[in-house]
A = this chain, B = another copy of it.
Amino acid sequence: MASLDPQVGNPRIGIIGSGAIGGFYGVMLARAGFDVHFLLRSEYQVVREQGLQLDSAVHGQVRMSVQAYASAADMPPCDWLLVGAKATSNAELAPLIVQAAAPQARVVLLQNGLGVEEQLRPALRPDMHLLGGLCFICVNRERPGVIRHQSLGAVNLGYHSGPAPDDAAVVVEEGAALFRAAGIDSQAMADLDQARWQKLVWNVPYNGLSVLLQASTTPLMSDADSRALIQALMAEVVAGAKACGRELPAGYAEHLFRVTEKMPDYWPSMYHDHALQRPLELQAIYAEPLARARAAGCELPRMQALYQALMFIDRRNRSA
């Protein structure tokens, strides 16, 4: 592996939650020569013995042994902590994140939805920086230790809070530089909430409808009625963002719609969560945006109906 010596030194990177997202970005960073440490739970034994395998339609097959840990107490102090676990487990993960963090560590929540940083922040130390990362990627965990990457890959980063808010832009640019050094498209976003609303334009229709209609992107994009429903939901998210003071770029929803049309068939992560009877990320992706839009005087009726239907489905699914 090539040794790397950027201006910012060779930061130590911890990956918390090595499912599809944590696994993909962790392997890409390790492949580029960064010092990456993976905190694992159920997959620890498999990954320790067999390493991680990335089957990527973009980057080919990558197999590597990795520095794997079953306990955060065993990890060395990390300068960057990338959290790829579900937002629903943040409360549980918070003490582990703190345990693995070097002084002035930068924590990046690679999660969808609104309010995830606000929820985690009180559990972090004051010296820790907190960022959000929005991943535009089609990736899933094929089986323990094996990640399948279908397309895309970009990460947009935004700053939430930390010890020196004046340094926010510098910290975010450092993060984006890390990803770019690993061959990943990454943009610094001046406004994290704006970045999160933009990502919701995709997540609100596709995540929810994949569960509600038990359908992946290709059939959803092939039917006149589901297309119209997706567009109407996207328009509601754009309206909600605007009501909350986040004017999205003109034509942004149409852009994501066209990108999805060209993507290979994809089952969004919420579909997999439902199939595995895991809790769905309904709070961050639906409840919080709905509450913020409503507080700003903006009702989003289709999104609310979808949220209520998903709440019903999720409760039944997990009590089954």
A229 touches B309 (CB 8 A): yes
A232 touches B305 (CB 8 A): yes
A215 CB-CB contact with B under 8 Å: yes
* CA gap between A213 and B219 in the complex, in Å: 19
Also in contact, A308 and B212, with CB within 8 A (given A232-B301, A302-B302): no
The size class of the interface chain A forms with chain B is: 20 to 34
B305 touches A229 (CB 8 A): yes
CB proximity to B under 8 Å, residues A285-315 = 301-302, 304-309, 311-313, 315
A16 to chain B, nearest CB (A): 31
Stretch with Cβ within 8 A of B (4 or more), from A60-68, A93-101, A123-131, A220-228: A220-228
A75 to chain B, nearest CB (A): 40
A223 touches B301 (CB 8 A): no
Tell me which residues across on chain B come within 8 A of A307, comparing CB atoms.
Answer: 225
Main secondary structure of the interface of A (DSSP, over half): helix
Specify the chain B residue showing the minimal Cβ separation from A312: B226
* CA gap between A215 and B306 in the complex, in Å: 16
CB proximity to B under 8 Å, residues A36-95 = none
B212 touches A309 (CB 8 A): yes
A316 CB-CB contact with B under 8 Å: yes
Please name 5 further chain A to chain B contacts, defined as beta carbons within 8 Å, in addition to the given A226-B308, A228-B308, A302-B302, sorted by A numbering.
A209-B309, A213-B312, A215-B316, A225-B309, A225-B311
16 contacts between A and B (CB under 8 A): A209-B309, A213-B312, A213-B313, A215-B316, A220-B312, A223-B311, A223-B312, A225-B308, A225-B311, A225-B312, A225-B315, A226-B308, A226-B312, A232-B308, A301-B302, A302-B304
